[in-house]
């Protein structure tokens, strides 16, 4: 899912966001309907994970992105 697919004007994020490449995406997140299923969005940095068939899978996909960030 790309950032362009979501209306970001009404999006809420942390007052102290951090760069997405440093975020572990373990902060609160929201799961929203997306083309192809559901996508989770980190409320700390604003990163949206890939669309998945279920909300649980979308959450796990975003958490995996965060694990990859922490390994760098």
Q: Is the pLDDT of residue 72 over 60?
A: yes
Share of the chain above pLDDT 90, in %: 44
Residue 27 binned pLDDT confidence (cut-offs 50, 70, 90): confident
pLDDT digits (tens, 9 = 90+) for 31-62: 999 999 999 999 988 899 999 999 999 999 99
69, 22 contact by CB (below 8 A): yes
* CA nearest neighbour of 33 among 72, 65, 69, 1: 1
Domain boundaries, the chain: 3-71
Residue 18 binned pLDDT confidence (cut-offs 50, 70, 90): confident
Ramachandran quadrant class, 37 (left: phi over 0; alpha: psi -120 to 50; beta: rest): left
């Amino acid at each position: 899912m790309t950032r362009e697919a979501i209306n970001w004007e009404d999006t809420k994020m942390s007052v102290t966001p951090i760069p997405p490449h440093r975020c572990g995406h373990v902060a609160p997140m929201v799961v929203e309907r997306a083309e192809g299923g559901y996508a989770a969005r980190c409320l700390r940095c604003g990163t949206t994970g890939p669309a998945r068939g279920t909300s649980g899978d979308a959450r796990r996909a975003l958490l995996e992105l965060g694990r990859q960030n922490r390994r760098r």
